[in-house]
Amino acid sequence: PLPVILDGDPGHDDVVNILLALASPELDVLGVTSVFGNVGLDRTTRNALITRELSGRDVPVYAGADRPLVSARISAEAVHGESGLDGPHLPTPTRGTEDEHAVEFIVRTVRAHPRPVTLVPTGPLTNVALALRLAPDIAANIEQIVWMGGSTDTGNWTPAAEFNALADPHAAHIVFGSGVPITMIGLNASHQAIAHPARVQAFRALGTPVGDFVAELLAFFADHHRERYGWDGGALHDPLTVAWLLRPELFVTRPMHVQIDVTDGPSAGRTVADVWNVTGHAPNADVMTQVDADGFFALLVERIATYR
């Protein structure tokens, strides 16, 4: 199986991504690392622990960065609620995190692994950037970084910027300049993956605790999207990362040069994607452009169904 580290800020869609990965025999999940983002680090970490508990899998969880490198911290309680995971009943986790810091775990694990490791960040890129700065040598043993963040077009947190990119633009700048192969899955792709009521119902119809949990997460997540965008469901951003690893044929990507706006004007945090290669710069990322949403949701339901 493909060795992966899941790094994120759970978060409704991060949780679905972790559950998808832990249910997939194609992947060897070496660890789950948390970062500030949707809510503060204490809560994103707790939500990672809750997710492990719910999954019944034995995977170590490590807490990471509690703030961005340079910019002021932002958060998204408006989307994910005060807990970061409002909606379902949240159990109290019975097991805690490992003592090691997430960034040290990433460095140690990538260095020691006999195979190149794939990093799957679904939040601000702070932990990944810190690992690359602490130990630049690890770049050689990272297979690729599959990141949910950015956008080739409009933002969702400012007119120009997507939340994960805006939450730590300087970290994104470091990662996109690292030379490590990157797949960027931005809003232009994730807004094609709407969890409308019939899709939510497919999880509920599984009649399992995890199926119900996912359905309740998605039902809550829909509220914000209904109000803000007028959509009949939430955009299921983060699970596109693991789905892309599992079933690349469901997606279209294109190589592009992507530059992050690290100035503090109105376009701060924008992932400026050179869609038409007008700069002539060599591509530094494969950018997802198309999603087979029915295929994606079918894969998700199939894997979530394996939790009994």
Instruction: Point out which residues bind ligand BDR (CB under 6 A).
Output: 11, 13-14, 38, 76, 79, 122-123, 148, 156, 162-164, 237-238
Q: Find, among 221, 122, 127, 119, the residue nearest to 164 by Cα.
A: 122
CB of 11 to ligand BDR, least distance (A): 4
Pick the closest to residue 175 from 244, 271, 105, 282 (CA basis): 271
237 is catalytic: yes
Give the one entry of ligand BDR, Ca ion, none that residue 118 binds, where binding means its C-beta sits below a cut-off of 5 to 8 angstroms depending on kind: none
The partner residues of 8 in beta bridges, in order of sequence, read 34
Q: How far is the CB of 14 from Ca ion (least distance, A)?
A: 4
Q: Which residue's CB is nearer to ligand BDR, number 43 or number 107?
A: 43
Measured CA to CA, the distance from residue 189 to residue 197 in angstroms comes to: 20
Contact 273, 150 (CB under 8 A): yes
- Residue from 6, 7, 14, 244 in contact with Ca ion (CB under 5 A): 14
> From the CB of 123, what's the least distance to ligand BDR, in Å?
6
Q: Which residues lie closer than 8 Å to 42 by C-beta, 6 or more apart?
A: none
β-pairing, 258-260 vs 271-273, is antiparallel
Closer to ligand BDR at the Cβ: 107 or 169?
169
- Residue 239 CB, shortest distance to Ca ion, in Å, is 10
Verify binding: residue 44, Ca ion, rule CB under 5 A. no
Torsion sign (Cα): 154, 160, 165, 170: positive
User: Is residue 69 a contact partner of residue 126, using CB atoms and an 8 Å limit?
Assistant: yes
Residue 11 lies near Ca ion (rule: CB under 5 A): yes
123 counts as binding Ca ion under rule CB under 5 A: yes
Catalog residues that contact Ca ion under the rule CB under 5 A.
9, 11, 14, 122-123, 238
Active site residues: 237
